[in-house]
Structure 1
Amino acid sequence: MATIAPGAAAPATSRIGTALPDSTVDRRRSRLFVHLALISCLCLQRFGLVIGGGTIFFSLPLFLALIGLMLVSGYGRIRMVPLFVFGLFALEGLIATLVAINVPETRQQLSILSLFSLLSIYLCLLVGPSGRFNRDDVIDIFLFYVRLCAVLGIAQYLLQFVGVRIFSFMLTFPALNPILIESLYNYNPILSYGSSIIRSNGFFLIEPSVFSQLLALGMAVEFFLKRQLKYLPLYAVAYLFSFSGTGLLALGLSIGILMLADRRYTVRVLLFVLALAALATIAAFVFPDQFASLAGRAGEASYSGSSGYARYFAQFEFIGQYTDKTRSLIGFGPGSMERSGFFFTGSGNPALKLFIDYGIIGSILFATFMVISCWRRDIAIISIFCLVNFQMGGGNLLFPPLIILIAILCVWSGDPDQAAARQGSALNHPKSRAARSSAPIRPVSTTQ
């Protein structure tokens, strides 16, 4: 009779008491890791602590604890190449900080906490899955949460017309205020000045723009990787109720880059554009007012007081103020951009902040780190979208939920084609067919 050595873990068992194969156990545990990670960055996105002028998202310590558990349990491993480049950037950031302390710039003030926050957030990209981690279900689980947010977003928007409004947790559940950070964001996103209609944010997500970005990524994954159209109408309706152009702009740039980077995607990109055009035409007839309002936001970037202008054009005014300075080579130190006299809310983006805080050298090192960490040819549309969307957002450099989502999709996920092939071969395996054929058949009575 076989015995178990003292201290050894007992084999996992199923509900009927039989031992499960290691691959089944690893798959279940891998799925649990993915669910917990996505819950931390999507469902808990509004939760955190506001300390002074900074924020601590609960998603970051939760995810760092999760990847620490992966390392300890053998489901994770250190990614050495990204770690090396990240170490070079950290060294450059430390040099920029020391120079800024000893040779201060009169126009800038420093924030050491900014460098600490930056390094802490991007630890998320330094741990990848080991051989035991089953990567086949990552994209499917991600799409489950996208669809969930889409359904909740549609319900959230429509319910406001019968008097049920749940757009802000701090207004709906005041007792949660001490652990909510949404006061620093657009927590009451009215459609326009003087309007009583509120734009959908997908219930869990912190702003309608974040919701639109998630939906746009979901559309791209469904079409280019899963090769299915059946959920696109759901995403289109939910996107319409967000009244945000950020997601579509990121999606448009991403598929354009994808087509230029690999001509094999040309036909699929054109088909995708046609599918979106068809959905837009239907939406224009079914929801004319909502469609007109969303289309009207397309030209707001031309107005200097708009959020679109601040996000996409104001940073060029910044660059002109700093490119002629010698210090632009190594930067003016962490936190310099937000504390300069030229900054106003929403006018920064990751590249601009890296350039001002850490200089040309730091910007190149960080860009190299991001490309090495995120780029994968087998999921090219996800990699391109994540990098484009990361650059477009004003506060994305220090927005942990986005970086965690990038880690899950670009680092943890497997090749969708290989996953589908493995599932097909498993169903056609002789043992699988024998098991299905030997399953007991329930007798059917004559009355039935």
Structure 2
Amino acid sequence: MKALEFNNYTWPVTFLLFSSIFLQRIAITVGSNQIPLILVLTLLSLLIILLSNRESGIFVVRITLFFSFLLLTTLFMLNKEYSAFSYFYLIALYVPFLFYFNFLNEIKINLIQRFLTFILITSFIGIFQFVFQLIGGSFIDPLAYLSSSYTQQGYLSTYQISYDSNIMKSNGIFYLEPSLFSQFLAIGIVIEISLFKRWWRIIIYLLALMVTFSGTGILLLVAATIPILFKLKLKNMLLFLILGAIIFGLFASSEFGQYTLSRTQEYKSPNSSFSTRFINPYKVSIDSEPKDLLFGHGPGQADRTEFIYPVNFSVLPKLLYEYGLIPSILFVLFLGHIFLYRGNVISYSLLIMYLFLSGGLLQPQTVCLMLSLLPLVLKIDFDFNLKQVTSPKKNLKKIRQMV
């Protein structure tokens, strides 16, 4: 019976975790719109999981908040311009979070390790992409040759590390952008430090993170690992700090590292990548007329409006701009229950990634990762684990007992 449950429960989630990485760039074109393949696969996999898992059900709190949000949004949409596609797209992305499903202890650990293996594979690919260029080869990205009808548009799959360089940023081939690659690597490092402490893997992740030349992964790693470090035993804390310092020192002293560090001054320019992501979206939302600030401009209008400076909307400013302050409060409470209900350092890290660093509200590549990974990590007692366990083998035994 246990083997049967294991098979029924794991393969849809394994497929989701696999797809969240290796199928990120694949999309289906329908008319003038694109639907990422990962969204279709997520909805199908969720249906299979709910049908095969007898311990599944619905979160009453979430369904109350979500449908209250939809009710207000529908009322505020009257006599406004809006995108029906954007509105129903949001519903399709977030309805799966209304359901819960539980797994056996060993299944959770097995699935988390599979996810880390997928990240490790792309880490080696990303490092190879960079090294191959250093020895005179061209940038390797087979997916770039696929038709635009089958690949996700609107993203820079890679670009030069600087305007005068021939070296392209590593994207691990399968990630939408080097930035998203770096964020997945940071999440991998957080999970490894929290649970398994396989230091050789952490070194590989750090090296791959460096060759993405992306600041978002570094920001996520710094924000997430600070609370973890204070819970580690002294020798493990020193080991991680020394490894990190050596790798960062070698990187910072190189020509590539100096370019990456020079981007810390980007916030001073309204046209910079930093301002586009972290400053301009909030300015646009807050500068709206009072009625638009309260009730929103309408779903999809953030993508249809031309602004005086470049804007890349993350979750919160997009919610505020399109749906208004009142519905946004309900949706933020909905998100809080998703990420913080029995949360821990991994779920907090995923929250930071989702809210501030990724493509945000309507990016299935990120949202579907949250849907498949959060149920595996939310109920693990990391505080006990970090105090009691030091070796990977003992970690695995302890985690199986705790989950």
Would you say same fold, with TM above 0.5?
yes
Q: 2:87 aligns with which of 108, 112, 115?
A: 115
Task: Note closer, same or farther for the CA distance 1:359–1:272 as it changes in structure 2 (3 Å cut).
Answer: farther
TM-fit CA distance, 1:407 = 1.4
Name 1:84's counterpart in structure 2.
64
Structure-to-structure mapping, 1:165-176, within 5 angstroms:
165-167=139-141, 169-171=143-145, 174=146, 176=147
Tell me which residue corresponds to 2:150. Answer: 179
CA-CA distance at 1:276 after TM superposition: 4.5
Q: Secondary structure at the match of 2:92?
A: helix
RMSD of the TM alignment (CA)?
2.8
1:299 counterpart residue number? 265
Quote the offset at 1:249 in angstroms.
1.0
Distance 2:205 2:371 in 1: 23
Q: Which protein has the larger Cα radius of gyration, Structure 1 or Structure 2?
A: 1
How big is each residue's C-alpha offset from its partner over 1:73-120, in whole Å with a ceiling of 9 and x where there is no partner?
A: 23662332322222222222212222xxx2x4xxxx421211111111
1:67 matches 2:46: yes
Shift of 1:48: 0.2
Aligned 8 A contact 1:92 1:358 in 2? no
Following superposition, the deviation at residue 422 of structure 1 comes to 7.0
Q: Give the match for residue 184 of structure 2.
A: 214
Q: Does 1:153 align with 2:126?
A: yes
Measure the CA separation in 2 of the matches of 1:54 and 1:167.
Answer: 24
**Structure-1 residue corresponding to 2:390:** none
Question: In the alignment, which residue of structure 1 is the partner of 2:115?
Answer: 142
> Given that residues 332 and 359 in structure 1 are in contact (C-alpha distance below 8 angstroms), is that contact kept between their aligned partners in structure 2?
yes
Q: 2-side partners of 1:87 and 1:275: how far apart?
A: 45
Question: Alpha-carbon deviation of 1:299?
Answer: 2.4
Q: Distance in 1 between matches of 2:308 and 2:302?
A: 7
Which residue is equivalent to 2:346? 382
SS in 2 for 1:396: coil
Q: Does 1:188 pair with 2:153? A: no
- Distance verdict in 2 for CA 1:361–1:230, change over 3 Å: same
CA contact (8 A) 2:281 2:317 kept: yes
Q: State the 1:295 CA deviation.
A: 2.1
SS at match of 1:284: helix
| Residue in structure 2 matched with residue 27 of structure 1 by the alignment | 6
| Structure 2 match to 1:275 | 240
Q: Structure 1: where are the runs of 5+ without partners?
A: 1-21, 260-264, 426-448
2:336 equivalent in structure 1: 371
* Alpha-carbon distance between aligned partners in 2 of 1:343 and 1:365, rounded to the nearest angstrom: 30
Superposed displacement of residue 56, structure 1: 0.7
1:10 is aligned to none
Partner SS, residue 100 of structure 2: strand
Pair 1:236-2:206 in alignment: yes
| Structure 2: runs of 5+ lacking an equivalent | 386-394
State the distance in 2 between where 1:321 and 1:52 align. Answer: 34
For 2:328 and 2:240, locate their aligned partners in 1 and report how far apart those are by CA, in whole Å.
Answer: 37
TM-score normalised over the length of structure 2? 0.86
What one-letter code is carried by the residue in structure 2 that aligns with 1:65?
L
Percent identical pairs in the alignment equals: 26
Which residue number corresponds to residue 397 of structure 2? 420
Q: Does 1:45 align with 2:27?
A: no
Q: Is the 8 A contact 2:281 2:318 kept in 1?
A: no
Cα distance in 1, alignment partners of residues 158 and 298 from structure 2:
34
Question: Which amino acid counterpart does residue 200 of structure 1 have in structure 2?
Answer: S
Which one of 303, 307, 322 corresponds to residue 338 of structure 1? 303
Cα distance change, pair 114–319 in 1 and its aligned pair in 2 (3 A): same
- 1:338 aligns to what SS in structure 2? helix
Q: Which moved more, 1:22-31 or 1:32-41?
A: 22-31
Alignment check: 8 A CA contact 1:374 1:410 kept: yes
For 1:370 and 1:349, the matched residues in 2 are separated by 14
CA positional deviation for 1:212: 0.4
Alignment partner of 1:313 is 2:279: yes
Query: Partner letter of residue 120 of structure 1?
Result: A
Deviations 1:400-437 (A, max 9, x none): 11111111221244527596337579xxxxxxxxxxxx
- How far apart, CA to CA, are the structure 2 residues paired with 1:42 and 1:383? 18
Distance 1:277 1:298, change over 3 A: farther
Asked whether the 8 Å contact 1:396–1:402 carries over to 2, the reply is yes
Between the aligned partners of 1:269 and 1:316, the Cα distance in structure 2 is 40
Alignment of 1:357 onto 2:336: no
Higher helix share: 2
Shift of 1:370: 1.0
CA distance in 1, matches of 2:127, 2:55: 37
| Deviation (angstroms), 1:269 | 10
Asked if the contact 2:9–2:53 (Cα under 8 Å) also holds between the matched residues in 1, the reply is no
Match of 1:125 in 2: 97
User: What is the deviation of 1:50?
Assistant: 4.1
Equivalents in 2 of 1:91, 1:343: separation in Å? 32
Q: How many residues align?
A: 384
Q: Does 1:248 align with 2:218?
A: yes
